[in-house]
Amino acid sequence: MSELLLRQLAEASYQTIYMVAVSGLIGTVFGLPLGVLLAITGRGELLENVAFNRIAGAIVNAARSTPFIILVVAIIPFTRLIAGTSIGTTAAIVPLTIAAAPFIARVVEGAIREVDQGLIEAGKSMGARPIQIILKFLLPEALPGIVHGLTLTAVSLIGYSAMVGAVGGGGLGDLGIRYGYQRFRPEMMLAVVVILIVLVQIVQSLGDRIAKKVNKRAL
Amino acid sequence: MIVLENVSKSYVPRGTSASTGSVQALDNVSLKVNRGEIFGVIGRSGAGKSTLIRLINLLERPTSGRVLVDGKDMTALNESGLRAARQEIGMIFQHFNLLSSRTVARNVALPLELAGRPRKEIEAEVEPLLELVGLADKRDRYPAELSGGQKQRVGIARALASRPKVLLSDEATSALDPETTASILALLADINERLGLTIVVITHEMDVIKRIAHRVAVLDRGRVAEEGDVYDVLTRPQTQLTQRLVAGVVDHGLPPEIADMISDKRAPGAATVLRIVFRDGAANTPVISRLSRDHGLDLNILHGRVDQIRGRPFGTLVVEAQGTPDQVQGAVSHLQSLSLGVEVLGYVGTAIAAAG
Chain B residue with Cα closest to A215: B101
- Express each pLDDT in B56-105 by its tens digit: 999 999 999 999 999 999 999 999 999 999 999 999 999 999 999 999 99
Given a cut of 60, is residue B351 above it in pLDDT? Answer: no
Interface predicted TM-score of the whole assembly (ipTM), two decimals = 0.85
Cβ–Cβ contact A114 with B under 8 A: no
How far from chain centre, in Å, is Cα B259? 28
Interchain pair B93, A122: CB under 8 A: yes
A-chain residues near B111 (CB < 8 A): 126-127
| Positive or negative torsion for Cα A135, A139, A143, A149 | negative
Q: Which CATH superfamily is domain B2-88+164-247 in?
A: P-loop containing nucleotide triphosphate hydrolases (3.40.50.300)
B-chain residues near A44 (CB < 8 A): 14
Tell me the average pLDDT of chain A. Answer: 92
- Express each pLDDT in A123-139 by its tens digit: 999 999 999 999 999 99
Q: Taking CA B115 as the corner, what is the angle to CA B111 and CA B118, rounded to the nearest 5 degrees?
A: 100
Percent of chain B scored above 90 by pLDDT? 55
**DSSP calls for B297-344:** -EEEEEEEEEEEETTEEEEEEEEEEES-HHHHHHHHHHHHHTT-EEEE
Within a domain: residue A146? yes
Among partner residues A118, A125, A217, which is closest to B144 by beta-carbon distance?
A: A217
Q: What is the largest CA-CA distance in chain A?
A: 68
Within a domain: residue A219? no
User: Of A57, A59, A28, A11, nearest to A157 (Cα)?
Assistant: A28
In Å, how far is A215's CA from the nearest CA of chain B? 7
Within a domain: residue A207? yes
A-chain residues near B113 (CB < 8 A): 136
Scored b (16 or more CB within 10 A) or e, A8-25 reads: bbeebbebbbbbbebbbe
A-chain residues near B91 (CB < 8 A): 122, 125-126
Which A residues, 34 through 63, put their C-beta within 8 Å of a C-beta on chain B? Answer: 43-44
In whole angstroms, give the CA distance from residue B341 to residue B314. 11
Percent of chain A scored above 70 by pLDDT? 99
Within a domain: residue A43? yes
Question: Which whole-number Å values give the CA distances from A156 to A96, A99, A101, A105, in the listed order?
Answer: 10, 10, 12, 14
Interchain pair B91, A214: CB under 8 A: no
In Å, how far is A211's CA from the nearest CA of chain B? 12
CATH number for the domain harbouring residue A8 = 1.10.3720.10
Give the model's confidence band at B356: pLDDT under 50 very low, under 70 low, under 90 confident, else very high.
very low
Interchain pair B110, A126: CB under 8 A: yes
Domain B256-355: CATH architecture, name and number where available: 2-Layer Sandwich (3.30)
Scored b (16 or more CB within 10 A) or e, A196-211 reads: beebeeebeeebeebb
Chain B residue with Cα closest to A131: B114
Chain B residue with Cα closest to A212: B101
Q: Do the Cβ atoms of A108 and A114 come closer than 8 Å? A: no
In whole angstroms, give the CA distance from residue B146 to residue A173. 50
Among partner residues A127, A132, A216, which is closest to B101 by beta-carbon distance?
A: A216
Interchain pair B142, A127: CB under 8 A: no
Interchain pair B144, A128: CB under 8 A: no
Domain that holds residue A30: 3-214
- Express each pLDDT in B164-207 by its tens digit: 999 999 999 999 999 999 999 999 999 999 999 999 999 999 88
Tell me the average pLDDT of chain B. Answer: 87
In Å, how far is A190's CA from the nearest CA of chain B? 43
The residue type at A69: I
Task: Tally the domains of chain A.
Answer: 1
User: B244 or A143, which is more confident?
Assistant: A143
Given a cut of 70, is residue B284 above it in pLDDT? Answer: no
Interchain pair A128, B114: CB under 8 A: yes
CB count, 10 Å around CB of A104?
Answer: 24
B-chain residues near A136 (CB < 8 A): 110, 113-114
Among partner residues B85, B89, B144, which is closest to A216 by beta-carbon distance?
A: B144
Cβ–Cβ contact A182 with B under 8 A: no
Chain B residues touching chain A at CB-CB below 8 Å: 14, 57, 59, 82-87, 89-91, 93, 95, 97, 99-102, 110-111, 113-115, 142-145, 162, 168
Which pLDDT score, from 0 to 100, does residue B282 have?
65
Secondary element (H or E) of residue B68: strand B64-69
Boundaries of every domain in chain B: 2-88+164-247, 256-355
Interchain pair B144, A214: CB under 8 A: no
Among partner residues A125, A129, A218, which is closest to B59 by beta-carbon distance?
A: A125
Given a cut of 60, is residue B354 above it in pLDDT? Answer: no
Within a domain: residue A162? yes
A-chain residues near B93 (CB < 8 A): 118, 121-122
Mutation target among A126, A133, A135, A137 for the B interface, most CBs of B within 10 A: A126
User: A107 or A173, which is more confident?
Assistant: A107
In Å, how far is A54's CA from the nearest CA of chain B? 18
Given a cut of 90, is residue B147 above it in pLDDT? Answer: yes
